[in-house]
Amino acid sequence: MAGETMRGRMEVLATKMQETICAAAEAIEGAPFTRDPWTRPEGGGGLSCVMQDGSVFEKAGVNVSAVHGTLDREAARAMGGGREAGEETLRFFAAGLSVVVHPRNPMAPTAHCNYRYFERGDEGHPAAWWFGGGSDLTPAYLCEEDARHFHGTLKAACDGHDGAFYPRFKAWCDDYFFLPHRGERRGIGGIFFDDLHDRDPGDLFAFVEACARAFVPSYFPLVERHKEEPYTPAQKRWQALRRGRYAEFNLLYDRGTLFGLRTGGRAESILMSLPLEARWEYAHEPAGGSEEERLLHVLKTPRSWA
């Protein structure tokens, strides 16, 4: 029965959180998501919920998936914690929730969260298992009050399980969402973890659940705060430039994107994280002393927010 194994519990959590997050976004937008169920020929499937060209949300995606099959050896080596199972254990299961929200107003930040569970081997007796995920904020314009609220909400979720989690996973997030060819982070961070299997799986599941439930209160109040602020065409262009950086990271470095494409995942669902519009201007530099330059300074030198 679904829910009895860790596989089932993670599927149930992802589905419940998808419903919760979609309802929160729909209440702000005043319009529903398009719901697109899909199946994977190799095994499993999911539900992709996408909102596009809204008055508040330019593009938003809330996906759940639960897939299984057999890895090729390159994918097995890149899978993370599965290395412990040995390359000969190529059967896998992966379930999770993936959320990316790109608001229309450049004063409202983009946000992402992803929480997932992996197994290598047989159900009920996996050769390896682990959790991964996190949540991070990507503003085009820095609002320190937003940053403190977002990080503070995640810290509270972490502190309910281990006081060492937030500082550890905040630093990991700053390191992970890094564009080495730009020398800057994708955004102002949050938390990130992977290959997490260092204690009882039930305890780690409870931690992941708390973090997933923190997404709505950490993020949607920020959208409400900024959704009707005035902005200029120049500020909209800057937002598009920042979304270009977002696309660069997801296509070049994001492990989830690369793993999904390597294992024959559904491209439309995997790439729903990309913004509807992005921009690349040759050798663009913001004016000295501008709000745009202020953001870049924080992206190059991460700060403590909570």
Show Cβ contacts of residue 7 under 8 Å, excluding neighbours closer than 6 positions. 66, 93, 95, 117, 119, 123
| Burial annotation 110-139 (CB, 10 A radius, 16+ → b, else e) | bbbbbbbbbbbbeeeebebbbbbbbbbbbb
Calculate the alpha carbon distances from 223 to 28, 48, 231 in Å.
9, 22, 15
181 is catalytic: no
Q: How far is CA 287 from the centre of its chain?
A: 31
DSSP 115-152: EEEEEEEETTEEEEEEEEEEEEEE-SS--HHHHHHHHH
Contact 277, 306 (CB under 8 A): no
Report the SS3 class of residue 22: helix
User: Considering 102, 112, 149, 161, which one is annotated as catalytic?
Assistant: 112
Tell me the backbone φ, ψ of residue 283, rounded to 5 degrees.
50, 40
Token readout for 162 is 């281990």
Give the catalytic positions in this structure: 112
